Amino acid sequence: MPDELGRRAGSTARGKPVWIRNRRRPKCPHQKDHWGGDHGGLPIFVPSHRPRGPAARWGYPLVTYVSDGIESAMAQAKAAAGDKDVQVRGAYTAQRALEAGVLDEVQIHQIPVLLGGGRRLFDVLASQIELEIIRVIDTPAATHIRYRVRR
């Protein structure tokens, strides 16, 4: 399912901590192009409370910082993706996109490890959000669940 996600992606919206962590991490030799480096040429939109200068000056011309809300970041990401999907990465960004009603699907990859740290994925949602299971793939390494957001 992760490879399928990479092929369907046209852009990505991700939180600043996820973007900073990923840009510092070297690409693993076994990774395919759409998961490493510049994410296969996908535009990246980073919702931020603080305006930033052009990311191109740091060597990341495909990164756009968006300081006018998650709705704007998602609209820009959808426009850049064309007829492909927008991947949303990072718990905070996913929570804000769910609350704003700008996510159509949620995909969760659950591994058999309890980490005990980090941001909880759905910790600060203001209201209940109904999900419908679309697909489940269960493997020894992970369970992949795709949900449709009910409106």
CATH number of the domain to which 133 belongs: 3.40.430.10
Tens-place pLDDT, residues 68-109: 999 999 999 999 999 999 999 888 889 999 999 999 999 998
**Averaged pLDDT, 39-58:** 72
Strand 131-138 relative to strand 105-110, pairing: unpaired
Complete edge-to-edge strand list for the sheet that includes strand 9-14: 63-66, 44-47, 9-14, 85-89
Confidence bin at 56 (pLDDT 50/70/90): low
Q: Which two tokens stand for residue 30?
A: 């076994």
Range of the domain at 65: 2-149
Percent of all residues in the chain with a pLDDT value above 90, rounded to a whole number: 35
Assess whether pLDDT exceeds 70 at residue 16.
Answer: no
Tally Cβ neighbours within 10 Å of residue 147.
19
Distance CA 109, CA 94 (A): 14
Bridge partners of 47, per DSSP, are: 66
Confidence bin at 31 (pLDDT 50/70/90): very low
Domains identified in the chain, total number: 1
